């Protein structure tokens, strides 16, 4: 569904948000450890998220990653997915035609658009803050 990069990105952003709620800035090392991701690859993804103004990075000693409460409230998962995977999930044809186009649809188009729209709406309506809800109380997890 999503690329590995995108999966790591979503998990990383969620962990950063969770810790930022407690005012804790987190290091790359801690993030990779807590979401069980390859550390150097995760660094690249966080650079990308930082450039896209999704998380804030602070260099130097006592540096790390954080995200403000207002930001995580406004920020939707779709923005993270978009920054990493682009719009292929929303725009791509299920059978791989160059573009999904209702005027020249593939045989699965009519059935496929609904599912894709549900996914899009889910991502556009879910904030990063919502993602942290179950984590503190141990109802949801970022690694296993």
Measured from the CB atom, the residue of 44 and 143 that comes closer to a copy of itself is 143
Q: Residue 86 binds which one of DNA, ligand FES, a copy of itself, none, with CB within 5 to 8 A depending on kind? A: none
Site membership for DNA, residue 97 (CB under 7 A): no
CA-based angle 129:66:137, to the nearest 5? 45
Q: How far is the CB of 84 from a copy of itself (least distance, A)?
A: 12
Backbone angles phi, psi at 76, to 5 degrees: -100, 155
Does residue 10 contact residue 77 with C-beta atoms inside 8 Å? yes
Does residue 12 contact residue 42 with C-beta atoms inside 8 Å? yes
Site membership for a copy of itself, residue 108 (CB under 8 A): yes
> Among 101, 115, 118, 134, which residue sits at the site for ligand FES (rule: CB under 6 A)?
101
């Amino acid at each position: 569904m999503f690329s590995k990069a995108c999966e790591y990105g979503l998990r990383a952003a969620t962990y950063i948000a969770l810790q930022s709620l407690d005012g804790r800035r987190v290091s790359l090392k801690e993030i990779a450890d807590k979401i069980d991701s390859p550390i150097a690859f995760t660094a690249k993804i966080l650079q990308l998220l930082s450039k896209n103004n999704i998380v804030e990075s602070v260099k130097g000693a006592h540096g790390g990653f954080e995200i403000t409460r207002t930001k995580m409230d406004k920020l939707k998962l779709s923005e993270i997915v978009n920054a990493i995977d682009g719009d292929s999930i929303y725009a791509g044809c299920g059978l791989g035609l160059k573009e999904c186009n209702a005027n020249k649809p593939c045989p699965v188009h009519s059935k496929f658009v609904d599912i894709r729209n549900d996914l899009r709406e889910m991502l556009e309506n879910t904030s990063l803050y919502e993602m942290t809800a179950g984590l503190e109380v141990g109802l949801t997890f970022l690694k296993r």
